[in-house]
Structure 1
Amino acid sequence: MLLRQETLDGIAAGRITCAFRRWERPRVVPGTRMRTRIGLVEVTGVSRVGVSALRAADAAAAGQTLKDLRALLARGTGPVWRIELVAAGEDPRVALRAQPLTPDERDSVAARLARMDRVTPWTAATLALIDARPGVRAPDLAAELGRETLPFKRDVRKLKELGLTESLEVGYRLSPRGESYLRGGA
């Protein structure tokens, strides 16, 4: 579920507590936790609602006017779902990327990277390129490796899951954990 930055900011501030979507069936369930730019956002409820039943308070809870919310929902087809949302803490990858690698963790990361490289090796080249070119746009980095942008970005997210990289406003950089791994330290 994609959430615009203004919505995320409202969730973080406690002003926005829900979103509305037109989906044939719910795409999230209560308990779903999404990693976002503001940290974790948790889905606390999902319920089907009728557009005609929406009131100004519903729209305000979604950070909109009733007129704007109805106009937005008029563009789609299918049932309307109210998704209850709450800020649920910091993204655990933030803490992970700052943690130093123990020798056991280093071995574990190396084994995971080896599994990722099983079919086509890419992890070492990607880490080295991000280290050499922090803040460079993903399409430019992908082109340097002769790769398509979307698969490249998907692979960088895998490195991010291990706490090795972090996203910048533009591009990426190695995290302290990634630097430690790349330089062979523990």
Structure 2
Amino acid sequence: MLFRKEVLEGIVGGRIDRVFRVWAEPRVRAGSTQRTWAGIIVIDSVTPVTPEDITEEDALRSGFKSRAALLAALSKSTKEGAYHRVMLHLGGPDPRSKLAENADLTAQELADLTATLDTIDARSRRAPWTREVLRLIEQHPGLRAQDLAEHLNREKLSFKSDVRRLKDLGLTESLETGYRLTPRGQTLLTHLNPHPE
């Protein structure tokens, strides 16, 4: 489930505790979590609703100025299905954030990360890709995933899946558009390529 920047900021600030979606079937369930740049979002409940069920409070607590504005936004959805009210809250920081900020890596940590990348590359059905993707993100911070994928003649969804693997290691982070290396990722890439041409 995607969240706009202003919605995530509202969740962090406590102004937003619900969102509305148009789904044929719910895409999330109560108790599930989602990692975002703002932290871990916890889903409290997912309820199908009719337009009549939606209140002014719903609108305000989902980041809209009025019920009419919320209903207008929902009516513009190109998706087919019912309206769903998703209650949620910020569960805390993404544990990867602390990991990502740690740029002071020991020789053993650098060796372990290098070995992890080697394992990922060895198991890849394609040619080794981890270092190439890290270098590409370093060279083009904030570039759209679609454009980054095209640099490598890759499909966007497959490319984004690979970047998520690097993010899970604390090496990259998502921006509003595109990605950038984390301090941890920059330290590792410098270690892997200490004298770039």
- Please classify the TM superposition score into its range, dividing by the shorter chain length: 0.7 to 0.9
2: CA distance, partners of 1:78 / 1:10: 26
**What's 1:156 paired with?**
163
* TM-score after normalising by structure 2: 0.77
Does residue 128 (structure 1) correspond to residue 135 (structure 2)? The answer is yes
Displacement, 1:184? 4.0
Tell me if the contact between 1:48 and 1:81 (Cα under 8 Å) persists in the aligned partners. yes
AA aligned to 1:98 is: E
2: CA distance, partners of 1:53 / 1:10: 23
Displacement, 1:27? 1.1
**What's 2:120 paired with?**
116
**What's 2:19 paired with?**
19
**What's 1:96 paired with?**
99
Q: Which moved more, 1:66-75 or 1:53-62?
A: 66-75
What is the identity percentage for the equivalent residue pairs of Structure 1 and Structure 2?
43
Tell me if the contact between 1:39 and 1:89 (Cα under 8 Å) persists in the aligned partners. yes
Displacement, 1:67? 0.9
Tell me if the contact between 2:49 and 2:84 (Cα under 8 Å) persists in the aligned partners. yes
Displacement, 1:84? 0.4
Displacement, 1:92? 1.7
2: CA distance, partners of 1:74 / 1:167: 29
Q: 1:77 to 1:167 in 2, by over 3 A?
A: closer
1:104-126 Cα shifts (integer Å, max 9, x gaps): 54454334323321222111222
Gaps of at least 5 residues in structure 1 are none
Does residue 67 (structure 1) correspond to residue 84 (structure 2)? The answer is no
**What's 1:179 paired with?**
186
Q: Which moved more, 1:104-113 or 1:9-18?
A: 104-113
1:55-74 Cα shifts (integer Å, max 9, x gaps): 21222221221112222333
2: CA distance, partners of 1:5 / 1:169: 7
1:19-38 Cα shifts (integer Å, max 9, x gaps): 11121222111222222232
Tell me if the contact between 1:97 and 1:165 (Cα under 8 Å) persists in the aligned partners. yes
